[in-house]
Structure 1
Amino acid sequence: MDTQKKGIGKGELIALIVSSCIGTGIFGITSDVAAAAAPGPALLAWLFVAFGFLMLVLSLNNLSNKRPDLQGGIFAYAGEGFGPLGEFISGWSYWLSAWLGNIAFATMLMSSIGTFIPTFKGGQNVPSIIVAIIFCWLLTILVNNGVESATFVNMIGTICKIVPLIIFIIIMFVCFKGGMFTADFWGKVASNATKGTTTGSVWTQMKGTLMTLIWVFIGIEGASVMAHRAKSRSEAEQASVISFILLVIIYVLISILPYGALTRAQLAGMGQPALGHVLEMTVGHWGAVLINVGLIISTIVSWLSWTMLPAETTMLVADDKAMPKAWGKVNSKNAPTTSLMITGVLQTIFLFSLLFTEKAYEFAYSLCAAAILFSYLFVGLYQMKLSSERKEWGQYTVGLLSALFMFACMFLAGWQEVLLVTISFIPGFCVYYAGCKENNHKFSKAELWTMGLILVLSVIAIVLVFNGTITIS
């Protein structure tokens, strides 16, 4: 008798993770990295960020192996280690990050379509917003009709969008000139070839790339979030490692090889999507068309992944009684309908706000990156706690390094965005209160102090916004 568990297979999980990470960010990464760093510092930044995310992946795999009973994955770890409030903070931050990422996808999608249809040029006018909202609800309905079936569409789309990136890498290898690549390897020389870019210390250049590199790695935890739907835990773990290796190779090649084809000033001055402009300058207009088509496919498929993940998040947190039960209610297709609808409505409202925001894409993805650091931090902290209890000091070190990396990113690259994220906990704690009341959970002193501290930070953030210290694009 066939007793194999139905669910998402390893190949589909790899497609989900790679698709979740490879969204709009990779198509603009060339100019963003070049503006902040020369090839040497950029490679060191990649080494630093890749090491940090490797510690996160190893922590997730260890926790999945040691605590398979925690079906909520990344959020359940926070709950097990730090109580219902810890799980809520982790889940709320992840949910916020996910749908803010969708806003970034919407802006970039309409902007790229504007390359072919001038009506949508810029991606922030009324026609663009209306079409983006239609996309939002079409994807919501697709996921609502069955999460497992949506992953098949995601896998096909992932294959389609990888092809332009592979072509880009091949062309960059052919056009690569060693002399141009090493001309100012450490970014110490100010010249016409580096005009409009950061020069100076290696550390300053590295720090300038951090938020960009974090943004393109978001989604690496996808297998953990969806692990309870996988055919097996071992397949989810393998998918995480394979996806991480593939992503590092793709990201480094795409962001570093162009330094050998064009000057750093040319790369930094590229419009978006930067990869399209790079190919246009090296092989002609057909290169820009190829990249824009790839970008459109990439954005739609990534948007699908990130329609699945936020709804899955609130369902798992609600199942653990850290949110109201309504957020975890599923339909006959086992999809969290209520959560999908709430998220869809909020995305619709936020999309209209793009009419009044000058740089919607940059603002949305910077908040997305800052919010998810909270969730990642809890993984490292629980890895430390569990490993300490079991006296597994090697695993404890992995967790420590992961947590230190997340703290470093918060303070070095995104402290303003982190403060802005705390504002979301003003309504968030109202949701948490409703969940606690529904589940007869009384606040502990530690929870009250923690919520009080976060609310103080949110008030500070509001004050800094009004006095101009923190600027919103």
Structure 2
Amino acid sequence: MPAAGEAKLSLVTLTGMVVGSMVGAGIFSLPQAFGKATGPLGAIIAWTIAGIGMLMVAFVFQSLAQRRPDLDAGIFMYAKEGFGNYLGFLSALGYWAAALLGNVTYFILVKSTLGLFFPAFGDGNTLIAVATSSVLLWVFHSLILRGIQQAAALNTVVTVAKILPILVFLLLVMMAFDWQIFKENFWGADNAGMESLSAQIRNTMLVTVFVFVGIEGASVYSRYAQKRRDVGTATVTGFLFVLALMLAVTLLSYGVMPKEDLAELRNPSMAGVLAAVTGPWGAIFVSIGLVISVAGAYIAWVMLAAEILYAAARHQTMPRFLGRENVAGVPANALWLTNTIVQVFLIISMFSDYAFMIAVAMTSSMILIPYLLVAAFGVKTNLRGDNALTLSKGSGAETVQSLVALLYTAGLVYAAGLKFLLLTTLIYIPGTVLFLMARNEQKLIIFNHVEWFVFSVLAAGFFAVIFAVARGTLII
């Protein structure tokens, strides 16, 4: 990641960070994920809702980058500034947890891809798959500790390399597109009423969140931007490009295979779709593209995960030891903590038959609170405008955008469902130890009255999950 004294990041590089962060493993799993949940009609509605909602979130990031240039540490600083130390901490913790869980999905999906050709890798969570993933994890870790020169620029190059296979996939599938198959898939159910369509759309919401995680990539690195306005421009430009890719991959796949067959594909399901068009070499081609994509996304996300802990420590929200750099300018302690937890989750994945989908849902759930707090801070900033660095209240358009973003992110919290929201407490409550350490270092009171209430609600959820798992009424 950029160190002090290095050249600032250009608009192209910042856009590459946004696209590189969002285009990882998720896009390669869209045909199966949507095939399980809905048909083309439901997919169009779901992507429209997600597109408008996340575009509003992108506009909020754009607006805040301009109106609050003093908050240069990205997503968690908005929560801290707007709602206090503990909610700022939970935002940082949630974002960090989403980043490391995203890295877990990358490893599982790569090994699942290899399982297409080497059965020992299975669905990416067999013993040999986890062992191989662990070796790769610590090889990457060692390389990063030595320092990656021009890491952000490298991410831009890799981003271009991984977009090309996706564009080739779209071209080949477009040529084989069959309108009759598409029409038969259209409703997504034999007797499609509004209630069933509504359920279909809800079932896709967490998938759309997962593939858009990374939209804040430029915001996290805002302090390195050559021009402050480039942060917002990169966020919106990168988002619109990725939305077009996601929509095309999803809808074109419905014109190649029946919905039921899409639902049965193993991940990466894009490989199965292209194989149906071209034969076995299509699966190999997509698999190579996935490996390139995941390698690039891993570089972006391990940087983001370490940066958020490092930035939070610098702003006294995390313990001081996470703000220390090694001689290469890498936040080594933050990197060690991140990859140790990734290792733990890789081991846990061996004991779940649905490791990839659970990791996807958990990644999406963990990112919801940071996004919700950013949207809420956007509303607060636009309505009040009472900070010296916020010159005036927001325009009518900015206020509407922030309100829509808040409604959308609140709706996502509902769509996530109680199970996965409760499961997030398994990270929030143990993770609060880091907050206690930071407050103790500064010799400050731990919580105010509101923060005690928030902590109590999370603790109640934590013990409810432990009790439900112990009784067998909740299966992870």
Equivalent-residue separation in structure 1 for 2:132 and 2:228 (angstroms): 39
Q: Quick check: 284-293 or 411-420, which moved more? A: 411-420
Confirm whether residue 262 of structure 1 aligns to residue 262 of structure 2: no
Paired residue type of 1:459: F
> Which residue is equivalent to 2:418?
415
Confirm whether residue 400 of structure 1 aligns to residue 403 of structure 2: yes
> Which residue is equivalent to 1:142?
143
Q: CA deviation at 1:412?
A: 2.0
Equivalent-residue separation in structure 1 for 2:76 and 2:146 (angstroms): 24
Q: CA deviation at 1:305?
A: 1.3
Equivalent-residue separation in structure 2 for 1:199 and 1:117 (angstroms): 43
Q: CA deviation at 1:417?
A: 0.8
Confirm whether residue 455 of structure 1 aligns to residue 454 of structure 2: no
Q: CA deviation at 1:82?
A: 0.9
Q: CA deviation at 1:431?
A: 1.2
Paired residue type of 1:37: T
> Which residue is equivalent to 1:465?
469
Cα deviation code 1:332-374 (max 9, x no counterpart): 4332111001112222222222222222111111101100001
Cα deviation code 1:313-337 (max 9, x no counterpart): 1111111111111111123433211
Query: Structure 1 371/455 Cα, relative in aligned 2: closer, same or farther at 3 Å?
Result: same
> Which residue is equivalent to 1:354?
349
Equivalent residue of 2:330, what SS? coil
Q: CA deviation at 1:88?
A: 0.2
* Runs (5+) with no aligned partner, structure 2: 386-392
Identity level (%): 29
Structure 1 segment 136-285 matched on structure 2, within 5 A: 136-146=137-147, 149-189=150-190, 201-285=196-280
2:338 to 343, 347, 364: 343
Paired residue type of 1:264: K
Cα deviation code 1:1-30 (max 9, x no counterpart): xxx971222222222221211111111111
Equivalent-residue separation in structure 2 for 1:58 and 1:111 (angstroms): 36
> Which residue is equivalent to 1:89?
90
Equivalent-residue separation in structure 2 for 1:332 and 1:238 (angstroms): 34
Paired residue type of 2:238: S
Q: Is the 8 A contact 2:362 2:424 kept in 1?
A: yes
Q: Quick check: 323-332 or 41-50, which moved more? A: 323-332
Cα deviation code 1:50-100 (max 9, x no counterpart): 111111111011111001111211111111101111210100000111111
Q: CA deviation at 1:142?
A: 3.4
> TM-score if structure 2 supplies the norm length?
0.92
Q: CA deviation at 1:111?
A: 1.9
Equivalent-residue separation in structure 1 for 2:114 and 2:194 (angstroms): 35
Cα deviation code 1:219-258 (max 9, x no counterpart): 1111111111222222222111110111110000000012
Paired residue type of 2:186: F
Equivalent-residue separation in structure 1 for 2:30 and 2:260 (angstroms): 15
Equivalent residue of 1:122, what SS? coil
Q: Is the 8 A contact 1:172 1:258 kept in 2?
A: yes
Q: Is the 8 A contact 1:30 1:254 kept in 2?
A: yes
Q: CA deviation at 1:460?
A: 2.0
Query: Structure 1 326/48 Cα, relative in aligned 2: closer, same or farther at 3 Å?
Result: same
Q: CA deviation at 1:42?
A: 0.8
Query: Structure 1 200/285 Cα, relative in aligned 2: closer, same or farther at 3 Å?
Result: farther
* Runs (5+) with no aligned partner, structure 1: none
Equivalent-residue separation in structure 2 for 1:444 and 1:183 (angstroms): 57
Q: Is the 8 A contact 2:26 2:210 kept in 1?
A: yes
Q: CA deviation at 1:408?
A: 1.0
Equivalent residue of 1:7, what SS? coil
Cα deviation code 1:265-286 (max 9, x no counterpart): 2222222221111111111111
> Which residue is equivalent to 1:446?
450
Equivalent-residue separation in structure 1 for 2:72 and 2:247 (angstroms): 34
Paired residue type of 1:446: V
Equivalent-residue separation in structure 2 for 1:356 and 1:291 (angstroms): 28
Equivalent-residue separation in structure 2 for 1:159 and 1:184 (angstroms): 33
Paired residue type of 1:218: V
Q: CA deviation at 1:419?
A: 0.9
Q: Is the 8 A contact 2:38 2:189 kept in 1?
A: no
Cα deviation code 1:117-160 (max 9, x no counterpart): 44434322333222212221222233334466222332222222
Q: CA deviation at 1:381?
A: 0.8
> Which residue is equivalent to 1:58?
59
Query: Structure 1 159/116 Cα, relative in aligned 2: closer, same or farther at 3 Å?
Result: farther
Query: Structure 1 231/332 Cα, relative in aligned 2: closer, same or farther at 3 Å?
Result: farther
Q: CA deviation at 1:200?
A: 6.2
Confirm whether residue 371 of structure 1 aligns to residue 366 of structure 2: yes
Equivalent residue of 1:265, what SS? helix
Aligned alpha-carbon RMSD (Å): 2.0
Q: Is the 8 A contact 1:221 1:240 kept in 2?
A: yes
> TM-score if structure 1 supplies the norm length?
0.93
> Which residue is equivalent to 2:302?
307
Equivalent-residue separation in structure 2 for 1:318 and 1:101 (angstroms): 22
